[in-house]
Structure 1
Amino acid sequence: MTVISVSGGAFAAYDVVVGRDLLAQAGQRIDALARGRTVIVSDETVARLHAPTLVASLTAAGVTTQVVTIPPGEASKSFSELERVLDRLLEIGLDRKDVVVALGGGVVGDLVGLAAALYMRGIDFVQIPTTLLAQVDSSVGGKTAIDTRRGKNLIGAFHQPRLVLADIDVLATLPPVQLRSGWAEVLKHGLICDAPFFGWLAGEGAAGATGDPAALERAVIRSVEIKSAIVGEDEKEAGRRALLNLGHTFGHAVEAELGFEEAALAHGEAVALGCVLAFRYSQHLGLCAAAEADRVEAVIAAAGLLTRLEQAGTFSADALMARMAGDKKAEGGRLTLILAHAIGRAFVEKSVDAADLRAFLVDQGAAG
């Protein structure tokens, strides 16, 4: 078991606990926060798999709890589901001393975190991420959001959890596509600022992409260490935290064009493709050596992830550009991208030439 403290000047410190069999031990940890009452919010699939263990642990610790479920899938990150969850919390009668527990992947964590931020102007919540992607990314850092028809994660708030429990054992229930999706975010952390970590992921650590528990645990720990350090410096993405969006501007544009349908493209698959495009665009601009971009593409492909636009579908360059223009990082009508000088050396570029980027997308297979 490894405990990583996340702290920053603007928010209270909290622990991210990474280890095995944490779900069965959750009751004692949450009891210290909950003062006797919790509500678990989970999606229907995760609730069937993991809620009984969590409920039993909480009950054994003397914590009263109820389970609220939402439909699985990205569509639940919506105004309608947010309203339904808030209404259920009000119906149950939670007060500001109670705790909401988000048991699930990124969709559950994002939705429940936003509900917790809004409920009575802010209530404590605990993240228990059940996907690799959520363990290494969305459960840490306090970003909460829902989607709209105009884009992904555009309505949200920064609301830090009180505790994060990343149980490696629950990852054994993930389908291969979800494991690969999370692995893309792990690779992203190495690409941002830790070339040796990326090298380990490309070699011995690659076993994590197919479910090896020891490799997964090491990968989750290092990813959380990287993310927690960045979040502690920059909670609200005013500076360095934007680096964590490597691959996301490209990836979100592709996801949006596919209607955010997980069956068509998982979020991590979109991020992996976006990372390749970010390194290829860096190469195109003369900022990054071709050998570095080639290596990124090869490692991502070896993990079973997408590396080419045509693997995801058929896209119009103009449509992708319109989606990217609506990205949260865009400023004053100008595009912002996370680019790289090399593996482990990402940076924020705030003056991207739109015409040049459009031509690059056409060169990468988008329809002109």
Structure 2
Amino acid sequence: MRTLNVNTPSHAYPIFIGHNVYQQPQQTLAPYIGKRAAIISNETVAPLYLPRLQAVLDALGCAYFSIILPDGEAHKNSQTLNMIYDGLMQHRAERNTTLIALGGGVIGDMVGFAAATYQRGAPFVQIPTTLLSQVDSSVGGKTAINHPLGKNMIGAFYQPQAVLADLGSLQTLPAREFSAGMAEVIKYALLGDADFLTWLENNMAALMAQQPDVLAQAVYHCCQMKADIVAQDEKEHGIRAHLNLGHTFGHAIEAEMGYGQWLHGEAVAAGMVLACRLSETLGYLKAADTERVIALLQAANLPVAPPRMPLDKWLAHMQHDKKVQDGQMRFVVLRAFGLADIAGQINTTQLQHALQPYLAA
């Protein structure tokens, strides 16, 4: 098991990464939960991992109750959030009751938002069970629900007490979900140093086969990158926005197609290709650079082209993006691999050029 720390102005907390992190609960769990906990999971994950977590809490002498939610991005909304509040109220959860998020990014985001708002703030612990949530969404304290007009538009910055990334849980993850998580790993390679990009290209087959040492190295590297960025910019006023590479386009895809039709990582994968195309249009990347990204995404069994939609649909969705400032759309672009920037003043002609192969009439 490997441990790293996230140091934010709110507070510092650890990330535990490894196989069977539950086997060391005195180190990984006991210091971060109180006398009572609410385990919040979904209908898919709970049958697989809830009994194991309950046994650990029993051994620690922690009282608990469970709230089981429907599974999927389509349920990341105010109605499902109210199911969490209902369960907390019905079980008379107090402000010091620890909320435990057992699941992927949807569960983590909703439980984090519930924790941020229940009695004006309750402690919570992240136990991410998907690759995407382990390398990205469980770290950094971004919590939210979706709105029909935009993804993650209603939320809060609220840091967990600890993150337990048990790599063993990835063995039960469907192949499509694992690939979706690889989109975020590839994102970190494009934002980071050239060595990690080359390492990914050389080790993609081993990663897709979930070779333990290689997988642990990738997860640790991504978490370390995110921890470093969050420490510098907890509330996304600057450099943290770079982590949205591909997300402006990707969120437009998710909103247009209906949440859950495209997995988040799949939409981000196609979005990163579009971000590279826009970077080409601005004169930063070469076509060969984009093709290198496409090849890496394809090796992870990810889509590299978005669904076709008219330009006005793209624009309408992207104008609801959280990076919009003073009414101006802004995009994360790559000046080079490892050198991201926020581009404002992007005009419709430039966007149309980047999107041209994927526009519907």
- TM-score above 0.5: yes
> Secondary structure, in 3 states, of the residue corresponding to 2:344?
strand
Residues 192 and 343, structure 1, Cα contact 8 Å, conserved in 2: yes
Who is 1:277 aligned against?
Answer: 274
SS of residue matched to 1:6: strand
**Mapped pair 1:7 → 2:1:** no
Bigger drift between 69-78 and 241-250 goes to 69-78
Q: Count matched residues.
A: 361
Offset at 1:348? 1.2
Report if the CA contact (8 A) 1:200-1:206 is conserved: no
For residue 41 of structure 1, report the CA deviation from its aligned partner. 0.1
- Which residue of structure 2 lines up, in the alignment, with residue 367 of structure 1? 360
After TM superposition, give the deviation of residue 351 of structure 1 in Å. 2.0
Q: Distance in 2 between matches of 1:28 and 1:194?
A: 32
Residue type of the alignment partner of 1:270: A
**Structure 1 residue 181, shift from structure 2 partner:** 0.3
- 1:315 matched to 2:312: no
* Structure-2 residue corresponding to 1:81: 80
2:303 partner letter: L
Counterpart residue number, 2:31: 32
2:339 is aligned, of 333, 341, 345, to 345
Q: Which amino acid aligns with 1:340?
A: L
> 1:206 & 1:272 partners in 2: Cα distance?
18
- Whether contact under 8 Å (1:27, 1:59) holds in the other structure is no
The range that moved more, 158-167 or 287-296, is 287-296
Relative to structure 2, which stretch is displaced further, 72-81 or 199-208? 199-208
CA displacement at 1:171 relative to structure 2: 0.4
| Residues 204 and 300 in structure 2, CA contact (< 8 A), matched pair in contact too | no
Correspondence for 1:95: 94
> Is the contact made by 1:179 and 1:210 (CA closer than 8 Å) also made in structure 2?
no
Question: Does the 8 A contact of 1:289 with 1:342 survive in 2?
Answer: no
In structure 2, what is the Cα distance between the partners aligned to 1:291 and 1:23?
45
Counterpart of 2:236? 237
Query: How big is each residue's C-alpha offset from its partner over 1:202-230, in whole Å with a ceiling of 9 and x where there is no partner?
Result: 11244213322222111100000000100
Aligned residues: CA RMSD: 1.3
Aligned pairs for 1:107-126 within 5 A: 107-126=106-125
2-structure distance, mates of 1:30, 1:92: 22
Once the two structures are superposed, residues 272-294 of structure 1 have per-residue CA deviations (whole angstroms, 9 ceiling, x without a partner) of 11111111111122111222112
Structure 1 CA distance, aligned partners of 2:308 and 2:34? 53
Q: CA deviation at 1:95?
A: 1.5
Distance across 1 between alignment mates of 2:253 and 2:351:
15
The one-letter code sitting in structure 2 at the alignment partner of 1:56 is A
Moved more, 182-191 or 76-85: 76-85
Letter of the aligned partner of 1:295 in structure 2?
Answer: R
Alpha-carbon separation, structure 1, partners of 2:85 and 2:343: 39
In the alignment, structure 1 segments of 5+ residues that lack a partner are none
Q: Which moved more, 1:23-32 or 1:101-110?
A: 23-32
SS in 2 for 1:103: strand
- Find the aligned partners of 1:27 and 1:37 in 2 and give their Cα distance: 16
Residue 65 of structure 1 corresponds to which residue in structure 2? 64
Shift of 1:27: 6.3
Assess if the C-alpha contact under 8 Å between 2:274 and 2:354 holds in 1. Answer: no
- TM-score for both structures, normalised by structure 1: 0.95
Using the aligned pairs only, state the percent identity. Answer: 44
Contact 2:183 2:269 in 1 (8 A): yes
Deviation of the 1:245 alpha carbon? 0.2
Residue type at the aligned position of 2:6: V
Taking the TM superposition and a 5 Å limit, the aligned residue runs for 1:186-335 are 186-261=185-260, 264-309=261-306, 313-335=307-329
Task: Confirm or deny that 1:357 pairs with 2:348.
Answer: no
SS state at 1:170 partner: helix
Once the two structures are superposed, what CA deviation does each residue of 1:293-329 show, in whole Å capped at 9, x if it has no partner? 12111111121111122xxx33122101110111010
Letter in 2 for 1:30: L
User: How high is the TM-score relative to the length of structure 2?
Assistant: 0.97
Seen in structure 2, the aligned counterparts of structure 1 residues 28 and 285 have a Cα distance that, compared at 3 Å, is: closer
* Paired residues of 2:279 and 2:333 also in contact (CA < 8 A): yes
| Mapping for residues 121-136 of structure 1, pairs under 5 Å | 121-136=120-135
Offset at residue 63 of structure 1 (A): 1.0
